[in-house]
């Protein structure tokens, strides 16, 4: 473990929408621990929400779309991980028990130890208080501590780090549109919300063989909607220029929808009021949340399956990495902005659509 730096820089949320860059000592590592030299960390869609929160996440070491090179590891870690020094990896944010039924299925997001809804202190990168050892527990840093239960995905040596950070958001979209609601050959798919996950769902639906893919967004999403056809969307709709129902009728003709993925949270259920009318019998719907009662009568009448979800499985990230490394899509166009550690505040706000225009996927490079 020689040759490592004595001090490591890390950006920490120290107040509501306030970041401080601190310098912390390299930790003393146990036999089952290691360190990752971070090459890049993407800013996730949930990051602005955590950044705006008050006492719930304060202080917190943010950053969970982490790509890097294994820089140090103990003897037991080398046996546990099946990765070696110098190998490049994507790590998932979950720090699970690895022995429960969910973990044995590769569904680390549902492990009681890592589940966002399972307790007051879920163990996952991006949500950990850095005041307790080992301190280096967020992705907006030069290095991050790797405990024994880190979840690894190996990546090729020649894959640009900023593209590899897309494995998590694209993995979310792949999970939601394929595993959760069954997009596949011959299906007509509507995706609402062209954020990182929404564009990931476009890629996932195209990879799964969907026949027609429609992406809907707002005028402020112009850059994302413009990119979507290059990622596999057949039609894009600006719902502020044309009501969703009118746009769907125009592009669908006499056909209906087989799959809907609504990533927006749909305040008041307004989106659902429109697309339910065009859902085929037996359609599958994925909704982020609804601020109203579930329309059970319509679900029964059309024999609909309604799902929701969060995060992604092991399989989804591996599938996302296969899509990324295939180089079939110009994913470098998704990575629109790069910032250094001193600019994490701006990076998070850019992801939220503030202060910076045209941001799609934002990356923090700790070595800029």
Residue 349 in tokens: 């706000």
Q: What is the C-alpha to C-alpha distance for residues 77 and 352, in angstroms, rounded to an integer?
A: 37
Residue 95 within a domain: yes
88 and 128 share one domain: yes
Return the pLDDT at 2: 53
- Let me know whether 143 and 190 are in one domain: no
Please list, in sequence order, all residues whose beta carbon lies within 8 angstroms of the beta carbon of residue 343, skipping any fewer than 6 positions away: 364
CATH of the domain at 246: 3.40.50.720
CA distance 33 to 148: 6
Claim to verify: residue 143 and residue 230 sit in the same structural domain: no
Report the C-alpha gap between 155 and 70 in whole angstroms: 12
Cα–Cα distance for residue pair 54/63, rounded to 1 Å: 17
Does 211 share its domain with 274? yes
Domain match, 102 and 80 both: yes
**What range does the domain containing 200 cover?**
173-307
Asked if residue 251 is part of any domain, the answer here is yes
Say whether both 354 and 258 belong to one domain. no
Please report whether residue 341 resides in a domain: yes
Instruction: Identify the CA nearest to 51 among candidates 266, 215, 59, 180.
Output: 59
Q: The tokens 């589940």 sit on which residue?
A: 115
Please give the span between the terminal C-alpha atoms of the chain, in angstroms, as a whole number: 25
Q: Sign of the C-alpha dihedral, residues 308, 312, 315, 317?
A: positive
Is residue 312 situated within a structural domain?
A: no
Closest CA to 362 of 170, 137, 165: 165
Is residue 68 located within the same domain as residue 158? yes
How far apart CA 292 and CA 270 sit, in angstroms, is: 10
The side-by-side arrangement of strands in the sheet containing 279-287 is 235-238, 212-217, 188-192, 257-262, 279-287, 305-307
No. of H helices and E strands in the chain?
Answer: 12, 15
Rg of the Cα atoms in the chain:
21
Buried b (16+ CB within 10 A) or exposed e, 127-149: bbebeeebbbbbbbbbbbbbebb
Q: Distances from the Cα of 40 to the Cαs of 88, 142, 363, in angstroms?
A: 11, 9, 6
The pLDDT of residue 1: 46
Which CATH number do you get for residue 113? 3.90.180.10
Q: Is 323 a member of any domain?
A: no
Q: Decide the pairing of beta strands 188-192 and 212-217.
A: parallel
What's the pLDDT at 116?
Answer: 78
Report pTM: 0.95
Same domain, 128 and 162: yes
Count structural domains, the chain: 2
CB contact at 8 A, 9 and 366:
yes
Q: What pLDDT does 88 receive?
A: 98
Looking at the fold, whether 128 and 112 belong to one and the same domain comes out as yes
- CA-CA distances (angstroms) from residue 147 to 73, 120, 238? 10, 20, 45
Does one domain contain both 42 and 133?
A: yes
Across the chain, mean pLDDT equals 94
Structure-token pair, residue 334? 């998704």
247 within 8 A of 190, measured Cβ to Cβ: no
Q: Which residues of the chain have pLDDT under 50?
A: 1
Q: Please, what is the angle between helix 196-208 and helix 314-326, to 10°?
A: 80
- If asked whether residues 286 and 203 sit together in one domain, one would say yes
Give domain status of residue 352, yes or no. Answer: yes
Is residue 25 included in any domain, yes or no?
A: yes
Q: For residue 54, with 0-12 CB atoms within 10 Å meaning exposed, 13-18 middle and 19 or more buried, which class applies? A: exposed
CB 54 within 8 A of CB 41: no
Last residue of a domain, one of 261, 288, 307: 307
- 274: nearest Cα among 342, 285, 170: 285
Residue 15's DSSP bridge partners are 18
User: Would 329 be classed as within a structural domain?
Assistant: no
Q: Assess whether 347 and 240 both reside in one domain.
A: no
Torsion angle of the four alpha carbons 186, 191, 196, 197, in this order, in degrees rounded to the nearest 10: -70
């Amino acid at each position: 473990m020689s040759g490592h730096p004595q001090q490591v820089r890390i950006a920490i949320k120290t107040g509501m929408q306030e970041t401080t860059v601190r310098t912390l000592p390299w930790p003393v590592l146990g036999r089952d621990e290691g360190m990752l030299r971070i090459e890049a960390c993407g800013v996730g869609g949930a990051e602005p929400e955590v950044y705006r929160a008050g006492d719930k996440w304060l202080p917190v070491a943010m950053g969970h779309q982490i790509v890097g090179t294994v820089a140090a590891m103990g003897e037991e870690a080398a046996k546990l991980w099946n990765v070696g020094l110098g190998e490049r990896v994507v790590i998932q944010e979950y720090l699970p028990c690895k022995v429960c039924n969910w973990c044995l299925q590769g569904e680390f997001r549902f492990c009681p130890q890592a589940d966002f809804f399972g307790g007051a202190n879920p163990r996952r990168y991006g949500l950990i208080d850095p005041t307790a050892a080992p301190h280096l527990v967020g992705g907006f840093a030069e290095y991050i501590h790797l405990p024994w239960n880190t979840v690894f995905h190996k990546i090729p040596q020649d894959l640009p780090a900023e593209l590899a950070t897309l494995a998590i958001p694209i993995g979310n979209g792949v999970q939601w549109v394929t595993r959760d609601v069954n997009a596949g050959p011959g299906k007509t798919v509507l995706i609402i919300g062209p954020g990182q996950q929404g564009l990931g769902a476009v890629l996932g639906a195209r990879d799964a063989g969907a026949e027609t893919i429609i992406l809907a967004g707002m005028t402020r999403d112009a850059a994302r909607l413009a990119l979507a056809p290059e990622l596999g969307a057949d039609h894009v709709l600006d719902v502020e220029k044309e009501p969703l129902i009118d746009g769907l009728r125009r592009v669908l003709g006499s056909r209906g929808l087989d799959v809907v993925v609504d990533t927006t949270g749909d305040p008041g259920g307004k989106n659902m009021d429109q697309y339910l009318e065009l859902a085929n019998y037996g359609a599958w719907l994925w909704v982020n949340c609804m601020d109203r009662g579930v329309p059970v009568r319509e679900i029964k009448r059309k024999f609909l399956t309604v799902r929701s979800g969060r995060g992604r499985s092991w399989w989804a990230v591996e599938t996302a990495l296969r899509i990324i490394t295939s180089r079939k899509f110009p994913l470098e166009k998704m990575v629109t902005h790069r910032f250094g550690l001193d600019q994490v505040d701006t990076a998070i706000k850019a992801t939220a659509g503030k202060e910076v225009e045209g941001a799609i996927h934002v990356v923090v490079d700790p070595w800029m």
